[in-house]
Amino acid sequence: MPKKKVAIIGSGNIGTDLMFKIIRLSDVLEMGVMVGIDPESDGLARAARLGYETTHEGVDGLIRSPQFDEIAIVFDATSAGAHRRNHDALIPLGKQLVDLTPAAIGPYVVPAVNLDAHLDAADINMVTCGGQATIPIVAAINDVTPVHYGEIVASIASKSAGPGTRANIDEFTETTSAAIEDVGGAARGKAIIILNPAEPPMVMRDTVQVLTSRLDDGARAAVTEAVATRVATVADYVPGYRLKQAVQFVDQDDEFDGLVPADRVQPGGYTQVSVFLEVEGAAMYLPSYAGNLDIMTSAALRAAERKVLAEQKEPIA
């Protein structure tokens, strides 16, 4: 099967890491054009050294590319504001977009939860790194018992957060919170991101805490099994994704009523389920502490490959 050409807009940390994944891992996609706005960026320099076309003239430079008509998918690894402009420029020209920013113009896609749900959408949104790491767990628990409230904390190494990530902190929390509800199934979601300045840099750590109705021993066992199964699903395309410790359960009373929607208040109390995760990066561009890059680019690659294979009616490996 011939590979489909792609372009990446954004020559920073995320876009460059994605480029290496496409080159080294994909049997479906091939690099076409690397797009940036800084002619001195490391991502553009690396792409050029590898023999790929580059432009520092943003989306306008991509549209002028001699390869533009051959580009099947455009990955956007810029910022929420830039993606809105790129969307407006490219959608009328018939391009398929995979959005790695928190712009959330298109539907949310978390491959371990809803990979096939939006194959026909022209612009799909990969939520955030924290969302990709935690929403599969919220969804797994919700498959067993309704999640009344879901809260996630994503802690990433400060060195792995480039200008785009830092400029989009508010969008990160808003988009992730919404996707915890829309994709994860929680009645109410909340997201927090921490840029950890520790030296040496720590790998990505994620905490998922949800409130369910009171769970008996059988339900707790089912939740534990569902979480383990979903972790394995994510690890299939993000090998550094793993549980840090056993799933924890603590019964809580009415002091948690204020966290859940009024129609989800449980007179019998709640069970607080806590899941602790770690994401180690594949070190294709930044060192292994940058698990936030790894899970985001791995998810985007899986989603884009699925879109191409679905069009060609091929099963995904």
Write down the residue that tokens 């306008």 correspond to. 60
| Selection from 192, 134, 199, 129 nearest residue 164 by Cα | 129
204-213 and 248-252: which strand pairing?
unpaired
3-state helix/strand/coil string of the chain: CCCEEEEEECCCHHHHHHHHHHHHHCCCEEEEEEECCCCCCHHHHHHHHCCCEEECCHHHHHHCCCCHHHEEEEEECCCHHHHHHHHHHHHHHCCEEEECCCCCCCCECCHHHHCCCCCCCCEEECCCHHHHHHHHHHHHHHHHCCCCEEEEEEEEEHHHCCHHHHHCHHHHHHHHHHHHHHCCCCCCEEEEEEEECCCCCCCEEEEEEEEEECCCHHHHHHHHHHHHHHHHHHHCCCCCEEECCCCEEEEECHHHHHHCCHHHCCCCCEEEEEEEEEECCCCCCCCCCCHHHHHHHHHHHHHHHHHHHHHCCCCCC
189 in a labelled binding site: no
167 is in an annotated binding site: yes
Task: Select which of 31, 100, 103, 129 is catalytic.
Answer: 129
Does 46 show up as a binding residue in the annotation? no
**Residue 292 annotated as lining a ligand binding site:** yes
160 annotated to bind ligand:
yes
136 annotated ligand binder: no
Is 121 annotated to bind a ligand? Reply is no
Q: Is there a binding annotation on residue 26?
A: no
- The answer to whether 79 is a known ligand-binding residue is no
Residue 300 labelled as part of a binding site: no
Tokens representing 31 are: 């690099």
- 192 catalytic residue (yes or no): no
On whether 157 is known to bind a ligand per the annotation, the reply is no
162 annotated as belonging to a binding site for a ligand: yes
Residues marked as binding for NAD(+)?
11-14, 160-168, 292
Active site residues: 129
Q: Which residues are annotated as a binding site?
A: 11-14, 160-168, 292
